[in-house]
Amino acid sequence: MKWTRKPGEPIYLRRHMVGLGLAICLPIVLLQLYKIYVGPISFSMQIAIGVIVSVLAGMVLYFTYRSSAQNEP
């Protein structure tokens, strides 16, 4: 039996999933690299930077992939 999408379910491509994975991992990786190469950073600043990077990455994903993640008719 072949798996089919439900009506209205979005079509996600492999590049969408890779972009989402990068958007999730990017704040963590950037903070760790900062701590390794620059120095310690306060917890509140880590949270602020994490939120800012996450929001920016989400906006980039939205504007980059919104035309290719179309709903199936």
- pLDDT tens for residues 1-59? 566 766 666 666 677 788 888 888 888 888 899 889 998 889 999 899 888 988 888 88
pLDDT digits (tens, 9 = 90+) for 16-31: 788 888 888 888 888 8
| pLDDT at site 36 | 92
Number of structural domains found in the chain: 1
Is position 15 within any domain?
no
Tokens encoding 18: 């890779």
Q: How many angstroms separate the CA atoms of 18 and 47, rounded?
A: 24
Is position 50 within any domain?
yes
Residue 71: pLDDT band (50, 70, 90) is low
Structural domain for 27, as ranges: 22-65
Helix (H) or strand (E) holding 35: helix 14-37
Q: Classify residue 69 by its DSSP letter.
A: S
Q: Which pTM does this prediction carry?
A: 0.65
